[in-house]
Amino acid sequence: MYVAVKGGERAIDNAHAWLAEERRGDLAVPELTVAQIREQMALAVNRVMAEGSLYDPDLAALAIKQARGDLIEAIFLIRAYRTTLPRIGGSAPVQTETMACDRRVSATFKDAPGGQVLGPTFDYTHRLLDFKLAADGEAAAVQTGTPHEGGTPHIMSYLDREGLIQPEVAQEAPPPDLTRTPLELPVARALRLQALARADEGFILGMAYSTQRGYARNHAFVAELRIGAVAVEMEIPELGFAIEIGEITVTECETVNQFQGSKTQPPQFTRGYGLVFGMTERKAISMALVDRALRWKELGEDNLGAPAQDEEFVLYHSDNIQATGFLEHIKLPHYVDFQAELELVRKLRRDAQAYREAAE
């Protein structure tokens, strides 16, 4: 005699309890604090803020703790939280030329005003596991220097002065909000950049890499990579003027790409652009390369059929929350549909058998 399986509610409760236990791990080990994650796992925090589209290092650190270190799960927590926040208004565009640069490098010129500032980069480290870190080591004292006076003008502005860079047209109207309007193709560049800014780093990295390997090859030079704090300003209607509401750290990458021209128009360099929350270089550079690849139509280039040129392919598959949700949903029960397929296959086999017998 068969008893129908029940107990879904109890199973879920038990699963959640066990999850909490696993999250805590060995009780003999001190519990991880949100502050520790914020301070000592800052690059993970940056990624969660960037792809969660929410600048709040404490919340991002909490999400990482709750997600047991699974960054996409943490990004999901941040996105869901963001949905519930009321929209007060829009800020003015951040002025990255006023950035106090912690890091600023250019591959296109040996030197430029503002200098080549390495900043706290992994770039020239030797990737050897440092076992001193396993024992609680103290960081060596760092030499201090005097900060650079005056702003750091964009490298692009010099090329711009000579008319060598294809100009960007300023838009009057505020850009549409990807999280408030459904994505419909074809997409304006502003929306494309929004989608890329919150896209999965690994996916965009792969796409960018593909352009370097020949899938819509467009040799990119990093004109400038800068990382530092910028002020966020917003116009307050009650005051009638704009005030600074806070400061954020961003990574900005501008790439210079192959020039374009015709008999009537002298050649100019074209550009790609990336901007990400926090110190998130890999993503910013990847974003700039993919941005440039997706601009083929407005720049009058050929569609070479490369994946990175396909707006629909890139934008529809770059959101890791959508991707993981749909991927993982196949774990859910599908037995009703599977039953339908079973019945169909059985029927078709019976029909085929009958046909064979009739033919004999």
Partner 1 sequence: MSDYNFAYLDEQTKRMIRRAILKGLAIPGYQVPFASREMPMPYGWGTGGVQVSAAILTPDDTLKVIDQGADDTTNAVSIRRFFQKTAGVAVTEATAEASVIQTRHRIPEQALRSDQIIVYQVPIPEPLRFLEPSEVETRKMHSLEEYGLMHVKLYEDISQHGDIATAYAYPVKVEGRYVMDPSPIPKFDNPKLEMAGIQLFGAGREQRIYAIPPYTKVVSLDFDDYPFQPTKAAQECGLCGASDSYLDELIVDDAGGRMFMCSDTDYCTTRRRAGHVGAQGTAYAEDAA
Partner 2 sequence: MTPLLQVENIAKFYGARIGCAEVSFDLYPGEVMGIVGESGSGKSTLLNLLAGHLVPDRGAVRFDTRTGGLRDTVTMSEPERRMLSRTDWAFVHQHARDGLRMNVSAGGNVGERLMAVSARHYGEIRTQAIDWLGRVEILEDRIDDRPTAFSGGMQQRLQIARNLVTGPRLVFMDEPTGGLDVSVQARLLDLLRGLVREMGLSAIIVTHDLAVVRLLADRLMVMKDGHVIETGLTDQVLDDPQHAYTQLLVSSVLQV
Q: Is 74 helix (H, G, I), strand (E, B) or coil?
A: helix
Q: Is 29 helix (H, G, I), strand (E, B) or coil?
A: coil
Q: What does the alpha-carbon distance between residue 360 and residue 358 come to, in Å, rounded to a whole number?
A: 6
Nearest to 295, CA basis, from 271, 322, 267, 261: 271
174 lies in the binding site for partner 1 (CB under 8 A): no
* Assigned token pair, 237: 């209607």
- 263 touches which of partner 1, partner 2, none (CB within 5 to 8 A by kind)? partner 2
- Region of 60-68, 106-114, 123-131, 351-359 interacting with partner 1 (CB under 8 A): 351-359
- Region of 24-32, 100-108, 153-161, 343-351 interacting with partner 1 (CB under 8 A): 343-351
350 lies in the binding site for partner 1 (CB under 8 A): no
Q: Which residues pair with 232 in a beta bridge?
A: 246
Q: What does the alpha-carbon distance between residue 15 and residue 12 come to, in Å, rounded to a whole number?
A: 5
19 lies in the binding site for partner 1 (CB under 8 A): no
- Region of 76-84, 121-129, 183-191, 256-264 interacting with partner 2 (CB under 8 A): 256-264
Phi then psi for residue 224, to 5 deg, are: -160, 140
Member of 111, 138, 162, 184 binding partner 1 (CB under 8 A): 184
Member of 263, 329, 331, 356 binding partner 2 (CB under 8 A): 263
355 lies in the binding site for partner 2 (CB under 8 A): no
302 lies in the binding site for partner 2 (CB under 8 A): no
Question: Which alpha helices (H) appear in 170-269, and where do they start and end?
Answer: 189-197, 201-212
Member of 17, 19, 80, 118 binding partner 1 (CB under 8 A): 80
Q: What does the alpha-carbon distance between residue 127 and residue 130 come to, in Å, rounded to a whole number?
A: 9
Nearest residue (CB) to partner 2, 146 versus 262: 262
Q: Per-residue DSSP letters for 285-345?
A: HHHHHHHHHHTTTTTT------GGG-HHHHHHH--HHHHHHHHHGGGS--HHHHHHHHHHH
Member of 26, 337, 357, 360 binding partner 1 (CB under 8 A): 337
Member of 335, 356, 357, 359 binding partner 1 (CB under 8 A): 335
User: Between 294 and 333, how does the x/- string for binding to partner 1 read (CB under 8 A)?
Assistant: ------------------x---x----xx-xxxxxx--xx
Residues at the site binding partner 2, with contacts judged by CB under 8 A = 262-264
